[in-house]
Amino acid sequence: MENRAYALAAGLFTILLGIGVVVAALWFSGDTVENDEYLLVSHHPVSGLNAQAPVRYRGVTVGKVVDIKFDQQDARAILIRVLVQTGTPLSQGTYAQLGSQGVTGLAYVILDDDGKKPAPLKAAGGEIARIEVRQSFMDNVSESGQEMIVSINKAAKRVDELLSDDNQKQLVSTLRNLDQATGKFATIAAAMEPTVKALPALVNDTGVVLKRADTLLANMNQRVEAFERAAQGAERLTTSGAALSDTMLNESVPRLNVLLDDVQRSSRGLERLLNEINEQPASFIFGRNPLPPGPGEPGFAAPRGNK
């Protein structure tokens, strides 16, 4: 009986110890920090990213990856569900990228904010808030490397075309022509050497000619100034003549007209006097004969022909 009781007690202790271990394990493995759920949307490969991968916001670990799957609405999109500690200052400008952990090739999620949309990130319509996943640095380097390789291939093809047999022959011909042209230039330079040596004397003669030209220009300037003075004098004379003409027209001409009228009247009077003297010369000594009496005056005699 004692052996059975001992065995029963040992069995119960073992069962209780196992239950305690399981409860403790569950207790220590459980999350005691409140988390918020977010959905990362990526249109780029997520190589090396697995569930339970850490999520870091500006270098601080704030959560972990829960699930990775394809979007049923868009086959090119990958949905990454993550848990982030409540209170993490995520905004509408927050974006995600993938980082690599050393040489293992394992990836983790990097959250960052460009500050363009500071409003807090909130879900709309009861759905999980979404965060865009941008291309990682390694992806950018890989694409740039591929573009560089393509550019290098194009450059290599062009160099190959440039160094073709026909182009090489043409290049050799061009070099020969250049060599011949260089020889001709040397001959021309040798022929021009005397001219170059005589150039300083020519420059001196040119200086003398320029000095003489300056003197000639100075004399011409003096002549021009004298001509301008003569022109100004002629202009003043013309102005005086115009003033004299105005005076003659306004003052002398009216007086001359009056004088001509007086002379004309005197001429008519003299003409009448000469006519009277011609008709009655005695009147010049004895004076004019009296006029015959008119009708009604004494001594008036009516003409005989009238009755």
Phi, psi dihedral angles at 103 (to 5 degrees)? -95, 0
pLDDT per residue as tens digits for the range 256-297: 677 777 777 777 766 776 666 666 665 555 556 666 676 767
Q: Who contacts 54 (Cβ-Cβ below 8 Å, separation ≥6)?
A: 61, 63, 64, 65, 108, 109
- Which pLDDT value is given to residue 307? 45
Query: Is the overall model pTM greater than 0.85, yes or no?
Result: no
pLDDT per residue as tens digits for the range 232-253: 776 776 666 666 666 656 666 6
The more confidently predicted of residues 255 and 88 is 88
Cα gap 211→306, rounded to integer Å: 117
Region of 238 on the Ramachandran plot (φ > 0 left; ψ -120 to 50 alpha; else beta): alpha
- Which pLDDT value is given to residue 83? 92
Q: Judge contact between 253 and 246, C-beta under 8 A.
A: no
Domain ranges of the chain: 32-135
The more confidently predicted of residues 46 and 237 is 46
pLDDT per residue as tens digits for the range 118-177: 888 887 777 888 888 988 776 667 667 677 887 888 887 887 777 777 777 787 888 888
pLDDT per residue as tens digits for the range 78-95: 999 999 988 888 888 899
Q: Who contacts 9 (Cβ-Cβ below 8 Å, separation ≥6)?
A: none
Q: Who contacts 136 (Cβ-Cβ below 8 Å, separation ≥6)?
A: 44, 97, 98, 99
Q: How many CB atoms lie under 10 A from the CB of residue 62?
A: 23
